[in-house]
């Protein structure tokens, strides 16, 4: 088969396609759409672009002139099948190629905001002209729907597995950090510092390396394969860690199959899906990733040599023909709304997870963490379709659910969550309500979690009267419509439910029997053993926001006094809040104190300086008093004893679960609470609390039968 690859750039992902195509006897020509330049061509002279129309072609990618010129070039090369990769290559392929072609998007190709005009235009061109989109997994399909995709969504073929070892086998350890170029330098530094803190002198060197740098279009002219480059660029390392999600991570990880015993991967949403597809298991998040990396480093050296090709070929994973698989998937007839979702390929009861906001790897706030973890538990429960209010997701996914139920598919469980603000679009709400009604009629169980009702608060003065009135109308409509169709309405805690009912009473709405559904513990992210920097003493940790809505004057005054007694103070806060915190600490004489650390990491990446780290949840405001802070469970996840006020809604839970102590709202009582936690009289039962309060248990509490 004669192939043409349309690609804006040539990275490891494109190199995998090119190498595999050549290995399977295909001819490959490579075209760069941005400047109408053929990087390579399979036969004869390079197809020429008419010089007078070059500028028009470059600026009007879907013009008749350009389509004509590109079609002429493809006929000259006798191309049978065109593969367009990346948003630029995929969109130009869809708009200009008349014959067989596939628009292929890899991880991250859809990670852009609407403010990126050129990328938004490219996606619109693909949406208007394409016949289907090939994507890495369901997470990427979610993103496509979020941008309004009207095309069928099919899975890319799995990345091709490599057959030979790349990493060095020697006593001295050199760890390479292959990172997503979109990751911040600070995120990379935090992981490197944490790894050094845990493994110490066991590692000779740690070197970060952008994964996209492992292959470029210049390698095409040098006739280097991806395997050649991996040996030359990665052969110096004994171990690797993949950080973040990128378009190139899948092809590179697959190519390193014989070295998987020396590799750890960050369990981002995207990488988790990839690893499940190819069978890789050494992955985790946060501090647990540091520990998994340490475990990999501690494994004894083996010298098994290359994997026997006969064994690899018996599973057809090394000699698979990526382009041929793609061609066969392209030729498969599908309906316009088709999506290659695992839940629709199964005959088990169908589950549905709904969230207003889509999945993300953000761990800086409670909402994205809760959505991510609850969605993960739903997947463990059984085949699950995810629905979100972004783009046309609700309309398309509700259609798929309705079709499956109409064909006799048994309904399992439906779980949904609202956002901090009511749904603004009535059609989205009605699609959602209709889906839940059909789901319940098919015998499914249904539940809806209400995060908060601040839109009913009289005291909020950030809105105009008309804006607030519109929010109240939307919020009441959303609650009333959902209350009419779901069996269970859940709130963050018992106190939250009581507070909701008080606000509803003021609007003549009857009280609701709320199911308390606080955040949970992600057992797979629980660190094993010690993770502290080896130092004597006690650390007091504050993690969260800084500002009047939280209030922490009592704690700061107590902390200042305790710092004088040798205690360490750590503050895990957002970067934008550092100046406010510095100013407050300076008032207390702590700004330049060596005992104080201000850290911008997410709590899941935080490592304390001492073995005993006390998690303080001591907030002065009424807003915090009746909340169930997400960090409560994060502290339990990390085995940090909790100190909280006796009148906060979490106090009874903390005491009953034996994961901390409570104190009164005074500086003296806070200091006394710290000393009580330090005493040997307290035997905290974190392991039991983690199991009893896992996300799995939270889900079981909703759907008990």
Structure-token pair, residue 548: 């009047």
Residue with tokens 């030979």: 164
366-381 vs 695-702: helix crossing angle, rounded to 10: 70
Any idea what the Cα angle at residue 212 is, between residues 322 and 208, rounded to 5°? 130
Residue with tokens 């659910």: 401
Structure-token pair, residue 284: 């985790």
- 296-342 pLDDT, tens digit per residue, is 998 887 654 444 443 344 455 677 999 999 999 999 999 999 999 99
pLDDT of 601 reads 83
**Residue 301: helix, strand or coil by DSSP?**
coil
pLDDT of 53 reads 47
Element (H, E) at 617: strand 612-617
CA distance 339 to 357: 20
Residue with tokens 């009912």: 501
Q: What is the CA radius of gyration of the chain?
A: 28
pLDDT at residue 531 greater than cutoff 80: no
Question: Taking the alpha carbons of 390, 366, 377, 415 in that order, is the dihedral positive or negative?
Answer: negative
Structure-token pair, residue 103: 């628009």
CA distance 227 to 214: 10
Task: Let me know: does 380 contact 318? Beta carbons within 8 Å.
Answer: no
pLDDT at residue 44 greater than cutoff 70: no
**Residue 520: helix, strand or coil by DSSP?**
coil
- 369-392 pLDDT, tens digit per residue, is 999 999 999 999 999 999 999 889
Please give the average per-residue pLDDT across 108-116, as a whole number: 90
Residue with tokens 């499940």: 276
Structure-token pair, residue 233: 């660029």
Annotate 664-701 with DSSP letters as a single string: -SSHHHHHHHHHHHHSTT----HHHHHHHTBHHHHHHH
Task: Let me know: does 51 contact 261? Beta carbons within 8 Å.
Answer: no
Element (H, E) at 5: strand 2-7
Task: Let me know: does 341 contact 400? Beta carbons within 8 Å.
Answer: yes
- 450-471 pLDDT, tens digit per residue, is 988 877 776 555 667 788 788 8
pLDDT at residue 552 greater than cutoff 70: yes
All domains of the chain in start order, with CATH:
2-155 (3.40.50.2000), 174-314 (3.40.50.2300), 342-516 (3.40.50), 526-695 (3.40.50.2000)
Please give the average per-residue pLDDT across 410-425, as a whole number: 89
Any idea what the Cα angle at residue 197 is, between residues 193 and 202, rounded to 5°? 110
Question: Taking the alpha carbons of 638, 642, 644, 647 in that order, is the dihedral positive or negative?
Answer: positive
How does DSSP classify residue 521?
B
- 200-257 pLDDT, tens digit per residue, is 888 999 999 999 999 998 888 888 999 999 999 999 999 999 999 999 999 999 999 9
Any idea what the Cα angle at residue 57 is, between residues 54 and 63, rounded to 5°? 150
**Residue 255: helix, strand or coil by DSSP?**
helix
Burial of 508 (0-12, 13-18, 19+ CB in 10 A): exposed
């Amino acid at each position: 088969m004669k192939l043409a690859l349309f690609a804006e750039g040539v990275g490891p992902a494109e190199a995998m396609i090119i190498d595999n195509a050549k290995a399977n006897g295909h001819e490959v020509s490579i075209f760069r759409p941005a400047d109408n330049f053929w990087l390579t061509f399979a036969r004869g002279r390079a197809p020429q672009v008419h010089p007078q129309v070059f500028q028009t072609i470059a600026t009007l990618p879907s013009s008749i002139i350009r389509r004509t010129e590109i079609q002429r070039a493809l006929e000259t090369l006798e191309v049978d099948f065109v593969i367009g990769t990346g948003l630029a290559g995929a969109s130009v392929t869809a708009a200009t190629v008349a014959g067989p072609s596939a628009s292929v998007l890899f991880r991250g190709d859809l990670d852009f905001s609407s403010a990126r005009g050129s990328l938004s235009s490219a996606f619109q061109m693909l949406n208007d002209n394409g016949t289907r989109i090939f994507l890495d997994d369901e997470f990427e399909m979610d993103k496509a729907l979020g941008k309004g995709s009207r095309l069928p969504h099919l899975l890319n073929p799995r990345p091709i597995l490599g057959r030979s070892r790349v990493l060095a086998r020697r006593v001295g350890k050199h760890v390479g950090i292959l990172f997503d170029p979109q990751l911040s330098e600070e995120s990379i530094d935090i992981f490197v510092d944490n790894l050094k803190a845990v493994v110490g002198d066991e590692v000779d060197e740690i070197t970060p390396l952008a994964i996209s740098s492992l292959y470029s279009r210049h390698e095409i002219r040098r006739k280097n394969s991806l395997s050649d480059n991996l040996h030359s660029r990665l052969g110096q390392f004994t171990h690797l860690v993949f950080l973040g999600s990128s378009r190139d991570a899948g092809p590179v990880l697959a190519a390193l199959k014989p070295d998987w015993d020396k590799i750890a991967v960050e369990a981002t949403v995207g990488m988790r899906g990839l690893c499940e597809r190819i069978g890789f298991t050494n992955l985790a998040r946060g501090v647990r990733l540091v520990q998994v990396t340490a475990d990999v480093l501690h494994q004894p050296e083996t010298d098994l040599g290359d994997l026997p090709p006969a064994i690899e070929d018996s599973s057809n994973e090394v000699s698979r023909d990526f382009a041929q698989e793609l061609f066969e998937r392209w030729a498969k007839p599908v309906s316009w709304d088709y999506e290659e979702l695992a839940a629709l390929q199964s005959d088990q009861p169908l589950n549905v997870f709904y969230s207003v906001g889509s999945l993300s790897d953000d761990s800086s706030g409670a909402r994205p963490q809760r959505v991510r973890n609850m969605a993960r538990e739903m997947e463990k429960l059984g085949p699950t379709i995810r629905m979100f209010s972004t783009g046309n997701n609700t309309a398309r996914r509700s259609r798929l659910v309705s079709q499956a139920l109409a064909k006799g598919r048994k309904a399992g469980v439906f779980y949904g969550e609202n956002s901090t603000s009511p749904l603004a679009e009535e059609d989205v709400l009605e699609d959602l309500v209709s889906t839940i009604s059909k789901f319940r009629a098919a015998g499914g169980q249904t539940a809806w979690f209400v995060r908060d009702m601040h839109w009913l608060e009289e005291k909020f003065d950030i809105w105009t009267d008309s804006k607030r009135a519109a929010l109240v109308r939307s919020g009441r409509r959303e609650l009333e419509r959902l209350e009419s169709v779901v069996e269970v309405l859940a709130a963050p805690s018992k106190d939250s439910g009581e507070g909701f009912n008080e606000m509803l009473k003021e609007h003549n709405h009857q009280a609701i029997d709320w199911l308390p559904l606080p955040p949970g513990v992600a057992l797979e992210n629980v660190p094993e053993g010690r993770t502290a920097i080896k130092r004597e003493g006690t650390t007091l940790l504050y993690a969260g926001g800084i500002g009047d809505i939280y209030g922490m004057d009592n704690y700061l005054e107590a902390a200042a006094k305790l710092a004088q007694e040798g205690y360490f103070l750590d503050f895990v806060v957002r970067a934008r809040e550092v100046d406010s915190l510095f100013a407050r600490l300076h008032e207390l004489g702590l700004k330049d104190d060596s005992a104080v650390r201000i850290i911008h990491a997410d709590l899941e990446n935080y490592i304390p300086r001492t073995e005993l780290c006390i998690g303080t949840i001591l907030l002065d405001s009424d807003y915090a008093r009746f909340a169930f802070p997400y960090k409560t469970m994060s502290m339990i996840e990390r085995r940090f004893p909790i100190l909280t006020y006796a009148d906060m809604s979490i106090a009874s839970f903390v005491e009953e679960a034996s994961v901390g102590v409570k104190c009164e709202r005074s500086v003296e009582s806070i200091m006394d609470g710290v000393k009580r936690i330090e005493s040997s009289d307290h035997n905290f039962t974190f392991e039991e609390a983690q199991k009893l309060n896992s996300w799995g248990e939270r889900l079981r509490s909703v759907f008990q039968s």
